[in-house]
A and B are shown apart, each in its own frame.
Chain A
Amino acid sequence: MSILIGSETRVLVQGATGAQARFDIRYCLDYGTVIVAGVTPGRGGESVEGVSVFNTVAAAVAATGANASAVYVPARGVKDAVHEAVEAGIGVLACFAENVPRHDAASAVAVARAAGVRMAGFNTNGMISPGRCKLGGIGGDRAAQVYAPGRIGVCSRSGGMSAEICWTLSRAGLGASTCISMGGDPIVGMRMAEVLRLFEADPETDACVIFGEPGGSHEIEVAEALRAGEIAKPVVALIAGQFQENYPAGVSFGHFSAMIRGDNDSASAKRRILSAAGARVAASLEEIPGLLRRG
């Protein structure tokens, strides 16, 4: 078992005819992901890398039984794309658009959550269950090299760091049960603590690694879940962005969500709070395997 996606996942690609979708579809197919359909309104009947394109998600689901969607629709249209996918019964979404208007993001995430749909993004590079399925560009052309299968659940606020963490695990002889890039926009479909609760319930996950950043409260919620005993498996945390504390609050250096606004927002505060809650805080990527093996 992995969480969210696995060998039974039948992937639909919304916005399949765009450049980034074509780029990723090739590598997903090479990886062995079962991509059953693409959707681009007005382009039904075409095909992308051998994948049939439909006009609507409903038609694609009816014809192919798709149950997860990789959403490449750009920021200005992605709210409707998410609503369409949720109404068509898709259960897992990865939404790649970044800088989605905040009100649109809130609406899309609300409709997904109300239907029990698990959504990564906005501004994610997807999720991967190594050896089984990858949803989105995660891993690029070398997903097998970077993301080895194993028993560590990885949840990262950064797609790039999900790769660096999993590559570090692979080189240390460890691997991931599932790796989720949550998305870098301010509003994302799943809270980090929710992802960790899924790993907690997954018999194939022994421990978790999280990557956090300044700004927002994902990491603080993880600390609360640890203190409440909702997460009993070991959690190793790598939190970047301490340099931001050299600059005034309210300056954004990367993800828009990674902006320090309050006292508990900084990288050092998050490290302190996670550590006090029982997480193992890593000072570098290289420390992660050792902290996981500590037992």
Chain B
Amino acid sequence: MKLLEHLAKDWLRARGLPVPEGRAAGTAEDAAAIARSLGGRVAVKALVAAGRRGKAGAVRIAGDENAARAAAVEIIGIEVAGQRVTQVYVESAVDIASEFYLSFGFGRLVPQIVVSRHGGIDIEAIAERDPSAIIRADIDPLRGLTNWQAAVLWDRAGIESCLIPAVATLTAKLYDAFRAADALMLEVNPLALTRDDALSVVGTMMEIDRNALFRHAEWQDLGLDDAGPGGRALNARERSVVAADRKFAGGAIRYTELDGDIALFVSGGGAGLLQHDLLLAAGGRPANHSDLSPTSTTDKPAALFDAMFANPNARGLLVGFNFLQLAPCDLMIEALLISIRRNGIDPLRFPIVVRLFGPREDEARRLASGMPGIRYLPHGASLAEAVREIVAAVNTVREGAG
């Protein structure tokens, strides 16, 4: 979840880090007013969660409030990286003497830092121009990043000796901020040295961890910024699943709509991937991908079924679990029946194939047998058999309709 620039910078500024003064504006008049109160030259930037805004023409330098107003008029309403710009960020322009690069992220096991004496351009461009100028290191999460460790890195990066103490101290503070924000990524590019020898956090990109929002009340109501395939906005059914996932306790549900006609209710991450592959190989076209982790109530699985039944393109449903280990089977059938009833689905006309084995399987079979049309496969049927069954059933429905 990428934080917009004003939120990231407000947060860093509140921790005492040297961030240029600035505020967000929704109108050109507001932008002009902010420029007036800041005084001097300002940068007017499209407030979208995307990098490389400069290249996209979405960053302007304005000499006074009138120029800031004009810049905002030009930027608000344009599209940057597929997003419509509704706000600009207006901040004091920094008189830059040199630019460096700094970022924090995660490796396989531990956080990592990347620094370079070249900044102000993409890390990819630095890598192309001068790969030896990119210094990477792991950070021990139990010790954090000390000033002297940061100094070693900047020394290796080849910045001027006289800058090392201040840059290293700032780097260690930025790591602390990265950790305190529960950020997955924090990029400072450029980390600027101003003409009056001060350091300034000019460019920032910060991605925070959705799973740590419980520690960050300030970011909890940012809305749903998830995107579907290709960066498209979530549709109503996808949003309803996200909302249900937040509303109800236990497990986790995910739902991404695709353009096929076989709804796929799968679980267990990896088994779901395999079933999706198998469905395509069998000539089926998935209406969605989904995932459900173990849960002890029907709320979340029923919400997931609701989305699938509400999808106008879906003509059939595969409830294709791997061998269930952490949850009772009858709970899933209970959720299925709740959703069938409240969506007015007739399994005799909307084929539903169930491959569901594990704890309380007998009870699950008894429940399912009360709803005519549900095809509960015999114990031991393979994932591939389940896929073939639903593909054949949906083909029959499609032919009947056509």
Contacts and interface: CB of A to CB of B under 8 A. Distances in A.
B291 A164 contact: no
Contacts of B8: none
A217 B108 contact: yes
A254 B268 CA distance: 8
A248 B229 contact: yes
A68 B307 CA distance: 41
Contacts of A217: 108
B212 A160 contact: no
B77 interface: no
Contacts of A142: 323, 357-358
Contact of A110 (B110, B276, B360): B110
B141 A253 contact: no
| B214, B229, B231, B270: residue with the most chain A Cβ atoms closer than 10 Å | B270
Contacts of A100: 211
B83 interface: no
B292 to A, nearest CB: 10
Interface string B250-265: 0010101000000000
A187 B108 CA distance: 6
Contact of A240 (B210, B214, B270, B325): B270
A176 to B, nearest CB: 14
A64 interface: no
Interface stretch (A32-40, A48-56, A132-140, A228-236): A132-140
A253 B289 contact: yes
A168 B179 CA distance: 44
B110 A160 contact: no
B1 interface: no
Contacts of A7: none
Contact of A20 (B230, B269, B294, B359): B294
Contacts of A184: 269-270
Contact of A258 (B273, B280, B360): B273
A253 to B, nearest CB: 5
Contact of A106 (B110, B215, B229, B357): B110
Interface in B286-303: 286, 289, 291, 293-294, 296
Interface residues of A, number: 67
B110 A253 contact: no
A277 interface: no
Given A100-B211, A184-B270, A240-B274, A140 B229 contact: no
B229 A285 contact: no
A102 B109 contact: no
Interface stretch (A87-95, A151-159, A196-204): A151-159
Given A103-B212, A164-B383, A125 B270 contact: no
Nearest to A187: B109
Contacts of A156: 270
A187 B106 contact: yes
A111 interface: yes
Interface in B197-213: 209-212
Contacts of A159: 268, 270, 325-326
Contacts of A111: 142
A167 B269 CA distance: 18
A250 B212 CA distance: 20
Contacts of B280: 243
Nearest to B295: A20
| B210, B215, B269: residue with the most chain A Cβ atoms closer than 10 Å | B269
A99 interface: yes
A251 interface: yes
A141 B141 contact: no
B88 to A, nearest CB: 26
A284 B388 CA distance: 14
A186 interface: yes
Nearest to B329: A140
A160 B289 contact: no
Contacts of B111: 103, 106
Given A102-B211, A109-B109, A161 B382 contact: no
B271 interface: yes
A110 B229 contact: no
Nearest to A19: B296
Contacts of A238: 274
A188 B272 CA distance: 20
B384 A254 contact: no
| A20, A146, A253: residue with the most chain B Cβ atoms closer than 10 Å | A253
A99 B251 CA distance: 10
Nearest to B274: A240
A191 B108 contact: yes
Nearest to A253: B289
Interface in A152-180: 156-161, 163-164, 167, 171
A74 to B, nearest CB: 10
A103 B270 contact: no
A186 B289 contact: no
A23 B384 CA distance: 29
Contacts of B184: 102
Given A107-B141, A138-B325, A160 B211 contact: no
A101 B210 CA distance: 8
B364 to A, nearest CB: 12
A164 B323 contact: yes
Contact of B142 (A20, A110, A186): A110
A161 B274 contact: yes
Contact of A99 (B252, B270, B383): B252
Given A19-B296, A161-B271, A285-B274, 15 more contacts: A100-B211, A102-B212, A103-B182, A103-B209, A106-B111, A160-B321, A164-B383, A171-B380, A241-B270, A241-B273, A243-B286, A247-B229, A247-B230, A253-B273, A258-B269
12 contacts: A102-B211, A106-B109, A110-B109, A123-B293, A156-B270, A160-B268, A240-B277, A244-B273, A251-B229, A253-B291, A254-B270, A254-B289
Interface of B: 106, 108-111, 140-142, 179, 182, 184, 209-212, 214-215, 228-231, 252, 254, 256, 267-274, 276-278, 280, 286, 289, 291, 293-294, 296, 321-328, 357-360, 380, 382-384
Q: Which 5 A-B pairs have the closest CB atoms?
A: A158-B270, A160-B268, A160-B322, A160-B271, A101-B212
